[in-house]
């Protein structure tokens, strides 16, 4: 269930993840502890929203956090400026019980598949509602969209206030920095690693990106 989807590492850099008031007033660390306590077997019973850290919003590099030498020493495996090829070893080290940075924030588990949406549009509203109603074990997350924008989207599609909450849909405003498609692992620009079962990318390409109409 949600306690397995969101593993709680021994050391959480909670101060580096400012909370959002959009859905829940909590730091990432306190929210995870609460989720582990309230979640039933295979049932995601709460939604959350984590705002994108200001440092991540301004960053252009995949690495957005700096730790002192003493802080780095507290990790078993610490990777500076991670690349795509680092994601699999980091997850493997975490599976072996080691403390890693970047840290594994979500994990696939037998209690229910993890559906990630990068960006959101009208089709996302329909699909999230379908997944939530189809099976309470479906874990759903939207990445890279401000909570206020999602609220406006739901309203424009005629959904009730609190739609994303009712669908047990997590919201993370941080954006994708790295993705290993074959391993189904992504890292956000705040250096959280997400393992997923299904990923739908609906975010529009950036203006001027190759293949984009000028």
DSSP 101-168: ESEEEE--BTTB-EEEEES--HHHHHHHHHHHHH-TT-EEEEES--HHHHHHHHHHTTPPTTHHHHTT
Confidence band (pLDDT; 50, 70, 90) for 65? low
Tokens of 77: 């495996």
Rounded distance, CA 131 to CA 198, Å? 12
Given a cut of 50, whether residue 31 has pLDDT beyond it is no
Residues 6+ apart with CB under 8 A from 210: none
Three-class DSSP category at 75: coil
Q: Is the peptide bond before 102 cis (omega within 30 degrees of 0)?
A: yes
Q: What is the pLDDT of residues 132-167, one digit of tens each?
A: 999 999 999 999 999 999 999 999 999 999 999 999
- Closest Cα to residue 143, out of 45, 63, 64, 56? 56
- The answer to whether the predicted template modeling score (pTM) of the entire model surpasses 0.85 is no
Confidence band (pLDDT; 50, 70, 90) for 94? very high
Residue 138's CB: how many other CB atoms inside 10 A?
21
């Amino acid at each position: 269930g949600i306690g397995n989807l969101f593993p709680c590492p021994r050391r959480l850099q909670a101060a580096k993840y400012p909370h959002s008031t959009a859905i829940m007033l909590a730091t990432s660390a306190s929210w995870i502890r609460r989720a582990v306590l309230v979640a039933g077997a295979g049932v995601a019973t709460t939604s959350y929203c984590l705002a994108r850290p200001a440092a991540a919003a301004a960053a252009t590099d995949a690495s957005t956090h700096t730790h002192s030498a003493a802080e780095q020493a507290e990790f078993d495996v610490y990777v500076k400026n991670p690349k795509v090829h680092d994601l699999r070893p980091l997850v493997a080290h975490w599976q072996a019980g080691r403390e890693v940075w970047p840290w594994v924030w979500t994990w696939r588990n037998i209690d229910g598949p993890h559906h990630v949406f990068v960006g959101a549009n009208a089709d996302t509203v329909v699909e999230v509602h379908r997944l939530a109603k189809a099976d309470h074990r479906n874990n759903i997350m939207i990445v890279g969209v401000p909570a206020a924008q999602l609220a406006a989207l739901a309203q424009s599609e005629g959904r009730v206030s609190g739609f994303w909450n009712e669908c047990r849909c997590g919201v993370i405003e941080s954006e994708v920095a790295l993705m290993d498609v074959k391993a189904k692992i992504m890292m956000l620009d705040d250096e959280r690693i997400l393992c997923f079962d299904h990923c739908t990318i609906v975010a529009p390409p950036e203006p001027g990106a190759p293949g984009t109409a000028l």
